[in-house]
Amino acid sequence: MSSITPLRAAKGGAVSILSVLKDFGNFRAVDDVSIEIRPNEFFTLLGPSGCGKTTLLRMLAGFEAPSDDKILLDGTDISMLPPNKRPINTVFQNYALFPHMTVAENIGFGLKMLGKSAAEISSSVEEMLRLVRLENAGNRSVTQLSGGQQQRIALARALAPKPKLLLLDEPLSALDLKLRKSMQIELKRLQQETEITFIFVTHDQEEALTMSDRIAVLNGGKVLQIGSAPDIYEHPADRFVAGFIGETNFLEGDLMSSADGVGTVALRCGPVVEALTAKSVASSGAVTIVVRPEHLELVAPGSPQAVDATVEQIVYFGTDTHVHARLSDGTALTIRQQNRPGPKEGIAVGRTIGVTIPPRVAQILKD
């Protein structure tokens, strides 16, 4: 059973998922998941396809019931409440707008179903149009809107009844890259202005890192780590989290000593490095360290405490360049360099480069 104490908040929107299980026949989609989501938080469920994130979202919405234990909203068990009895709205991947209705009619639909007066609906629709910055679009058909505008209308419709909780099921996946990036900023703004708890489901690490107050990383139906974006990126709990969140280099070595959160590791490829460690890591023995590409430094081949590698590919991304190289033992490395004006270093495919790991930028992973 979970040790979580259910949250109860004055404004509402506190969620406690307590040791929840969900089985489909013999397949366990969600396995003993416990998560505490704070009121007015932008919380993301992140993981690959089949990890259980969408099933968890569907249980929050009321479209699926837990096989065991419960889900609380502001301290009240909602596990068996039907969707229409929950103060929760959902924005789906396909938006689900009504094509025969105007923008204003779409936004006001939920309020109409709740029996609100025409004056209340009109006032709320105007408020929502201002919130999503589409003040003059009320009389337009939703079929005349761009993908980004339709996304905003779907959000406005979901927010109009002022739910305690807004669920977002990969709502940005159909947008092009530039629009997706702008909508990430827009979603975060909307969450902050409305002070509604947002629970966002995605497989996109960049979306999660950009928008979230906290992230839960799931795999195989289990929660592997919960933390802020910097916590998860800089201090991954295990090899899966490290590899799933952004680009990562893994290097094998032997832990020689450890004290005060820092370990000295003799890498199999040669150098001795200082790496951050966790209390749960043993004081000696074989270990794996993880180091992000932006923390590696290029030096002349043969430099002290450097390991030589052969450049296999150079990929230009505009703001930075990724150098893909390989060590003599076959280990692949990615080095990320920020692009600056002026002459470039003489790095070319087939050349030998030196790579160093500065002190305390790598992390020792626990077994």
Task: Count Cβ atoms within 10 A of the Cβ of residue 330 and give its class: 0-12 exposed, 13-18 middle, 19 or more buried.
Answer: exposed
Give me 253's structure tokens.
Answer: 């070595």
Runs of H (alpha helix) within the chain: 53-61, 103-113, 118-131, 147-159, 177-194, 205-211, 229-234, 239-244
Helix-, strand-, coil-residue percentages of the chain, each rounded to 5:
25, 35, 40
- Minimal CA–CA distance to 258: which of 278, 234, 238, 239? 278
Instruction: Indicate the angle between helix axes 103-113 and 147-159, nearest 10 degrees.
Output: 20
Residues in a beta bridge with 298: 355
Cα 340 versus chain centre, distance = 29
**Which residues are bridge partners to 297 per DSSP?**
356
What are the tokens at 158?
Answer: 């979901």
Residue ranges per structural domain of the chain = 15-239, 247-365
User: In sequence order, what are the residues at sequence separation of 6 or more whose Cβ sits closer than 8 angstroms to the Cβ of residue 258?
Assistant: 264, 277, 281, 283, 284
Residue 7 has pLDDT above 50, yes or no: no
- How many residues are present in the chain? 367
- Please report the pLDDT score of residue 279 as a whole number: 62
Distance between CA atoms of 240 and 197, rounded to whole angstroms?
28
Let me know: does 289 contact 251? Beta carbons within 8 Å: yes
> Cα–Cα distances in Å, from 335 out to 262, 274, 295?
23, 19, 8
206-236 pLDDT, tens digit per residue, is 999 999 999 999 999 999 999 999 999 999 9
Residues 6+ apart with CB under 8 A from 343: none
Residue range 77-100: mean pLDDT, rounded: 90
Q: What is the pLDDT of residue 250?
A: 97
pLDDT in tens, 12-39: 799 999 999 999 999 999 999 999 999 9
CATH superfamily of 15-239: P-loop containing nucleotide triphosphate hydrolases (3.40.50.300)
Q: Which CATH superfamily is domain 247-365 in?
A: Nucleic acid-binding proteins (2.40.50.140)
| Fold agreement between 15-239 and 247-365 | no
Strand partners, 130: none
Of 179, 191, 197, residue with least CA distance to 87:
197
- The pLDDT, as a whole number, for residue 12 is 73
pLDDT (0 to 100) of residue 277: 87
Looking at the DSSP assignment, which residues form a beta bridge with residue 327? 309
The pLDDT tens digits of the residues spanning 111-140 come to 999 899 999 999 999 999 999 889 989 999
Task: Work out the average pLDDT over 190-214.
Answer: 94
Can you tell me the mean pLDDT for 260-271? Answer: 91
Q: What is the pLDDT of residue 10?
A: 39
For residue 312, give the 3-state DSSP assignment: strand
Contact by Cβ (8 Å): 345, 351: no
CA distances (Å), origin 249, targets 17, 244, 288, 367 = 34, 12, 10, 17
Q: Would the pTM of this model clear 0.75, i.e. be above it?
A: yes
Beta-bridged to residue 272, according to DSSP, are: 266
Share of the chain above pLDDT 70, in %: 94
Count each helix (H run) and each strand (E run) in the chain, helices first.
Answer: 8, 20
Report d(CA 343, CA 341) in Å as an integer.
Answer: 7
**Which residue's entry shows tokens 């827009």?**
186
